[in-house]
């Protein structure tokens, strides 16, 4: 593995900002978008259950429908690719078994060997009602959002995480409920416009001493 230096990492994280104005003429390359998609796939989740699905939308037709349901934030239509992070609305026994079957296909082993792990996961999911389970799944999608933003920044791709969206309208436009999904959060990806004044403003963060305790 070739690691990046601390100064390189911080340089990229300083470079990253919530892009308000994208240059619509600049499109992310296929190779880069493939890496971004794989970074989403590689996102860790609680128990590894991956209670999510990601929609990577380049279609202008769909994005024009999303725009008025996104506080008319132009990032939705001006970015190169618009990612909607959706959470699974349920996590049934069958979903856990599907995950374990996948684990067996990848790593080998048997359902019998994994039965204690299965019971533990089932105990965890069945301890929550539907609302709590959905809340948990939505929290998981934010891990993917963080991974997405950092991955994009490391590739020199701009992004804007977006909660200023109407999840109910998004669900309808994207036909998510029929797939057992609901909109959690979104992220516009692309390249900053030269006119975006936000690119040059200093970051507003509390002092490190206020945010981090070293013991």
**Interface ranges with ligand FMN (CB under 6 A):** 17-18, 20, 73, 160-164, 185, 203
How close are the terminal C-alpha atoms of the chain, in Å? 30
Nearer to ligand FMN, 35 or 143 (CB): 143
Q: Which residue in 74, 91, 84, 90 sits closest to 166, CA to CA?
A: 84
Nearer to ligand FMN, 17 or 191 (CB): 17
Nearer to ligand FMN, 35 or 199 (CB): 199
CB of 12 vs ligand FMN, minimal distance in Å: 12
Q: What is the DSSP letter of 67?
A: G
CB of 69 vs ligand FMN, minimal distance in Å: 12
Residue, CB closest to ligand FMN: 164
Q: What is the DSSP letter of 19?
A: -
Q: Which residue in 133, 52, 120 sits closest to 92, CA to CA?
A: 133
Count of CB atoms situated within 10 Å of the CB of 102: 12
For 94-180, strand residue ranges (E) read 158-162
CB of 198 vs ligand FMN, minimal distance in Å: 7
CB of 141 vs ligand FMN, minimal distance in Å: 10
Q: How far apart are CA 68 and CA 65, in angstroms?
A: 7
Nearer to ligand FMN, 33 or 162 (CB): 162
CB of 171 vs ligand FMN, minimal distance in Å: 17
Please give the structure tokens belonging to residue 159: 């992004």
Nearer to ligand FMN, 24 or 164 (CB): 164
């Amino acid at each position: 593995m070739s690691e990046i230096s601390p100064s390189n990492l911080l340089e990229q994280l300083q470079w990253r900002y919530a892009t308000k104005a994208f240059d619509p003429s600049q499109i992310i390359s296929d190779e880069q978008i493939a890496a971004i998609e794989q970074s989403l796939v590689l996102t860790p989740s609680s128990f590894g259950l991956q209670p999510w699905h990601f929609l990577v939308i380049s279609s202008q037709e769909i994005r024009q429908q999303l725009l008025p349901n996104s506080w008319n934030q132009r990032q939705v239509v001006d970015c190169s690719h618009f990612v909607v992070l959706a959470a699974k609305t349920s996590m049934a026994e069958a979903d856990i078994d599907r995950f374990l079957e996948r684990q067996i296909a990848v790593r080998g082993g048997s359902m019998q060997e994994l039965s204690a792990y299965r019971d533990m996961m089932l105990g965890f999911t069945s301890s929550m009602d539907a609302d709590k389970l959905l809340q948990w799944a939505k929290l998981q999608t934010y891990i993917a959002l963080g991974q997405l933003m950092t991955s994009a920044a490391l590739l020199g791709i701009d992004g804007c995480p977006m909660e200023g969206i109407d999840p109910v309208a998004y669900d309808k436009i994207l036909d998510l409920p029929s797939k057992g999904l609901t909109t959690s959060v979104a992220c516009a990806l692309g390249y900053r416009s030269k006119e975006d004044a936000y690119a040059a403003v200093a970051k507003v963060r509390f002092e490190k001493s206020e945010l981090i305790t070293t013991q």
